[in-house]
Amino acid sequence: MSAIGVTSEAKLAEAIRDADGPLSVQGGNTRGMAGRGAALSVAGLSGIRLYEPGALTLVAQAGTPLSEIEEALAAEGQRLAFEPMDHRALLGSSGTPTIGGVFAANVSGPRRLSVGAARDFLLGVRFVDGAGRIVKNGGRVMKNVTGYDLVKLMAGACGSLGVLTEVSLKVLPVPETSATLCLAGLDDHAAVKAMAQAMSSPFEVTGAAHDPAKRQTLLRLEGFAPSVRYRLDRLRDLLASTGADMHILEHDDTEAAWRRQRDVTAFADRTGDVWRVHCRPTEAPEIAKRAAAEAHLFDWAGGLVWLRMAPGTDLRTRLGKYDGHATLVRADAATRAAFPQEQPASPGVERLRAGLRAQFDPRGNLTGEQAGRP
């Protein structure tokens, strides 16, 4: 059955109000997140409504392709600083990434550890909740929900509380140049230590990642060319005690290397389940050891661990207790049926979620792939 398409916020509100069962809201269809209900496509809600380069702000409908926004920003020498991941290669999917999908899932790339997550750039929202009510930003007063930061609440809710129709966001200028200091030959523990040194230095590192298969650690610097060159030299001096062989990737090679890191292309053509684990950076080597994965990657200086596991592995049981959580990103239908995509919440958190769902989706219209999660 083909998806029901809407081309306006009013039509979306009508469709949700008139629904006689759960809806599976779809955007660009890049992440394979088909839910249990009738398909409802919001891809028709597309277009940049306002862009003020001088104010570093942009307003766009949620179904606007990410490529359209990036093209408009590039023409003015600006960008989305949180560099959202493109999931298509990793998941083997097609479709078109949309700005609404980015914020609905709070998709944030390697630069997150220096500039913040996608939600930190979201200034305002319009959305339709599960009762078919149109809500703008956080300013509209709704019974029993006054005081919620609706902008932050919607970022990462994956459509479980409401369907985004419009987002306003902050953008940043593109720096003059970028370069990456590559350290070769470090094991996981040494790499995490080196990344921690780099991140605690005054040299403004905007990316810190490690590929154990290549024994290669990447440290990115951005800014004016003389500043980047100076900071590279100082960072090299700081990390000389690691004993690693060092070389520098210049601008074009740096851009390509960090796109590969952002999109986890090392796992794209390999079989197996893919998990992402958020943890303390200092715990990353032990997490990787306990996982006994077929392959792993570190990002966010070790705070994000990508794991490629044998199909059907119960990773959460294998990892046991640690300060973090594991998300199942890629797996076959049988594995997804056996293990929830998101880490099960504690009873206290689940009570909060249930209360939010009761306010924003009292009829249970918005199931999605991650039903029950704000």
Which tokens is 267 given? 């796992």
Q: pTM for the full model? A: 0.91
Average pLDDT, integer, range 154-182: 94
**Can you give the pLDDT at residue 144?**
36
Per-residue pLDDT band for 139 (boundaries 50, 70, 90) equals very low
Question: Mean pLDDT, the chain, as a whole number?
Answer: 91
Q: How many CB atoms lie within 10 A of CB 371?
A: 18
What CATH number was assigned to the domain covering residues 4-173? 3.30.465.10
Per-residue pLDDT band for 32 (boundaries 50, 70, 90) equals low
Q: HEC states along 11-56?
A: HHHHHHHHCCCCEEEECCCCCCCCCCCEEEECCCCCCEEEEEHHHC
Q: What is d(CA 161, CA 128) in angstroms, rounded to the nearest whole number?
A: 9
**Can you give the pLDDT at residue 33?**
56
Q: Which residue has the higher pLDDT, 41 or 37?
A: 41
Average pLDDT, integer, range 54-71: 96
Q: Which residue has the higher pLDDT, 290 or 355?
A: 290
Statement: residue 146 has pLDDT above 50: no
Per-residue pLDDT band for 192 (boundaries 50, 70, 90) equals very high
Q: Which residue has the higher pLDDT, 293 or 26?
A: 293
**Can you give the pLDDT at residue 292?**
97
Which homologous superfamily does the CATH classification assign to the domain defined by 177-263?
Ribosomal protein S10 (3.30.70.600)
- pLDDT tens column, 217-262: 999 999 999 999 999 999 999 999 999 999 999 999 999 999 999 9
**154 exposure class (CB count in 10 Å sphere: 0-12, 13-18, 19+):** buried
